[in-house]
A and B are shown apart, each in its own frame.
Chain A
Amino acid sequence: MALTVVSQIFPREMIPAVLPLIEDKLQHSKEIIRRKAVQALYKFYLIAPNQVQHIHDKFRKALCDRDVGVMAASLHIYLQMVKENASGYKDLTESFVTILKQVVGGKLPIDFNYHSVPAPWLQIQLLRILGLLGKDDPRTSELMYEVLDESLRRAEINHNITYAILFECVQTIYTICPKSDLLEKAAKCIGKFVLSPKINLKYLGLKALTYVVQQDPNLALQHQMTIIECLDHPDPIIKRETLELLYRITNGQNITIIVQKMLDYVRQSKEEYTIINLTGKIAELAEKYAPDNEWFIQTMNAVFLVGGDVMHPDIPNNFLRLLAEGFDDEKEDGQLRLYAVQSYLSLLEGEDTFYPQKFIQVMSWVLGEYFYLINDGDPEIIITKLYRLLKQTFVTSETKAWIMSAITKMASRIPCSKTVDKLIQEFSTSLDTCMRQYAFELKHLCENKELMKNLLPLDASCETVVDASLSFLDGYVAEGLSCGAAPYKPHHQRQEEKLSQEKALNFEPYGLSFTSSMSSSGFTGRQSPAGLSLGSDMSGNSAEIGQKDCLKLDGVRKLWGKEGYLPKKENKTGKEDKTQPAPEDSILVGHVDDPPLIQPEQQVVSLSEEEKEKQQLASTLFVGLGTSSTVSLMGKADTMTQKFKRKSKINETHTREEASSIQNFATLPFSPFPDITPNDKENFQGNEHLELRKVSLNSSEVLEASVSLDRSQSLTEAGLDEKLSDYRLSTSSLFADSNIEVLQPSQSAPKTVANKVSLSLCLPEELADHPHSEIVELCSSDVLTVYSCKVWTDDCSLLVLFVANKSPSPLKTVNLVFESTEHFKIFENLSCHFPVIEAQSIESCRKSVQLEKICTTGILSGFVSYHLDMDTHLEFSLIFSLSDFIRPMEITTEDFGKLWLSFSNDVKQNFKMSPQESLLIALNTLKQKLKLHIVEIIGNEGLAACRLLPSVPCLLHCRTHARTLSLWLRSSCSALPDSLLYQCQKVMEES
Chain B
Amino acid sequence: MIKFFLMVNKQGQTRLSRYYEHVEIPKRTMLEAEVIKNCLSRSKEQCSFIEYKDFKLVYRQYAALFIVVGINETENEMAVYELIHNFVEVLDRYFSRVSELDVSFSVLPRIHLSFFVFLFLTACSIVWQTFKIMFNLDRVHIILDEMVLNGCIVETNKNRILAPLLVLDKMAES
Spell out A's residues near B (CB within 8 Å).
1, 4, 7-8, 32, 35, 39, 42-43, 46, 69, 72-73, 76, 111-112, 114, 119-122, 124-125, 160-161, 163-164, 167-168, 199-200, 202-204, 207, 234-235, 237-238, 240-241, 273-274
Contact of B79 among A32, A69, A120 (CB under 8 A): A120
**B156 touches which of A46, A114, A199, A207 (Cβ 8 Å):** A114
Contact between chains at A161 and B82 (CB < 8 Å): yes
* Chain B stretch 26-80: residues in CB contact (< 8 A) with chain A: 45-54, 76-79
Most central of B53, B81, B157 by chain A CB within 10 Å = B157
Chain A to chain B: the 5 pairs with minimum beta-carbon distance, closest first: A164-B78, A199-B47, A164-B79, A235-B46, A161-B82
Chain A nearest Cβ from B8, distance in angstroms: 19
Beta-carbon contacts of B154-174 to A below 8 Å, as 1s and 0s? 111111100110000000000
Are A111's CB and B164's CB within 8 A?
Answer: no
Q: Evaluate contact between B51 and A237: CB separation under 8 angstroms.
A: yes
Contact of A235 with B47 in the complex, beta carbons under 8 Å = yes
CA distance A190 to B104 in the complex (A): 52
Min CB–CB distance B1 → chain A (angstroms): 10
Q: Is the CB–CB distance between A200 and B156 below 8 Å?
A: no
Residues on B with beta carbons closer than 8 Å to the beta carbon of A120? 79, 82, 156
* Bound: A32/B47 CA distance, A: 37
Minimal Cβ-Cβ distance residue in B for A127: B76
Distance in angstroms from A135 CB to nearest chain B CB is 14
Cα-based distance from A203 to B58 in the complex (angstroms): 12
B86 within 8 Å of A by Cβ? yes
**Would B76 and A1 count as touching, CB distance under 8 A?**
no
Q: Contact: A39 with B149, CB < 8 Å?
A: yes
5 inter-chain pairs at a CB distance below 8 angstroms, sorted by A residue, are: A121-B156, A164-B81, A200-B47, A203-B47, A234-B46
Decide: A46 and B78 in contact? CB cutoff 8 A. Answer: no
Q: Which residue of B has the minimal Cβ distance to A1? A: B164
Number of residue pairs A-B, CB distance < 8 angstroms: 102
**Smallest CB-CB separation from B45: which chain A residue?**
A199
Residues in A neighbouring B122, C-beta threshold 8 A: none
Kindly list chain A residues whose C-beta atoms are within 8 Å of the C-beta of B164: 1, 32
Return B71 CB to nearest CB of chain A, in Å.
Answer: 13
B150: CB under 8 A from chain A? yes
How many chain B residues sit at the interface, stated as a range, is 20 to 34
Contact A111–B154 (Cβ < 8 Å): no
**Extra pairs beyond A114-B86, A203-B49 (4, CB < 8 Å):** A8-B149, A161-B79, A204-B77, A204-B78
B83 on the interface (CB 8 Å rule)?
Answer: yes
Residues of B contacting A69 with CB < 8 Å?
Answer: 155, 157, 160
Given contacts A200-B49, A203-B47, are A121 and B79 in contact (CB under 8 A)?
yes
The yes or no answer to B152 lying at the interface (CB within 8 A) is yes
B153 within 8 A of A: yes
- Complex Cα distance, B159 from A112, in Å, reads 9
Q: Shortest distance in angstroms between B85's beta carbon and chain A's nearest beta carbon?
A: 8
Known pairs A121-B83, A167-B76, A237-B50; A8 contacts B145 (CB<8 A): yes
When distances are taken between beta carbons in the complex, the residues of chain A under 8 Å from B146 are: 4
Task: Give the Cβ gap from A158 to chain B, nearest Cβ, in Å.
Answer: 13
Per the bound structure, the CA–CA distance linking A207 and B51 in Å amounts to 12
- A237 near B47: Cβ-Cβ < 8 Å: yes
In the complex the two chains form, is B78's CB within 8 Å of A42's CB? Answer: no
Asked if A32 meets B160 with Cβ closer than 8 Å, knowing A161-B82, A204-B78, A237-B50, the reply is: yes
Q: Which residue of B lies closest to A117 (CB)?
A: B82
B154 touches A39 (CB 8 A): yes
Docked pose: A481 CA to B47 CA in angstroms: 54
In whole angstroms, how far apart are the Cα atoms of A238 and B155 in the complex? 31
> Chain A contacts of B77 at CB under 8 A?
164, 200, 203-204, 207
- Assembly CA distance A161 to B164 (angstroms): 26
In the complex, chain B residues whose CB is within 8 Å of the CB of A112: 156-157
Q: Which residues of B contact A124 (CB under 8 A)?
A: 76, 79
Contact B163 A200 (CB under 8 A): no
Shortest Cβ distance from residue B80 to the other chain A in the assembled complex, whole angstroms: 8
Q: Is the CB of B150 within 8 A of A7?
A: yes
Judge whether A160 and B158 touch: CB under 8 Å: no
Residues of A near B49 (CB, < 8 A) are: 200, 203, 237
Chain A residue nearest in CB terms to B83: A121
- In the complex, chain A residues whose CB is within 8 Å of the CB of B50: 237
B118 smallest CB distance to A (angstroms) = 16
Which residues of the partner chain A approach B163 to less than 8 Å between Cβ atoms? 32
Determine the residue in chain B with the shortest Cβ distance to A67.
Answer: B160
Most A Cβ at <10 Å: residue of B78, B145, B153, B160: B78
Q: Which residues of A contact B82 (CB under 8 A)?
A: 114, 120, 160-161, 164
Q: What is the bound-complex CA distance between A456 and B163, given in angstroms?
A: 79
Minimal beta-carbon separation of A8 from chain B (angstroms) = 7
Which of A35, A111, A160, A238 is B78 in contact with, Cβ under 8 Å?
A: A160
**Interchain nearest-CB distance for B73 vs A (Å):** 10
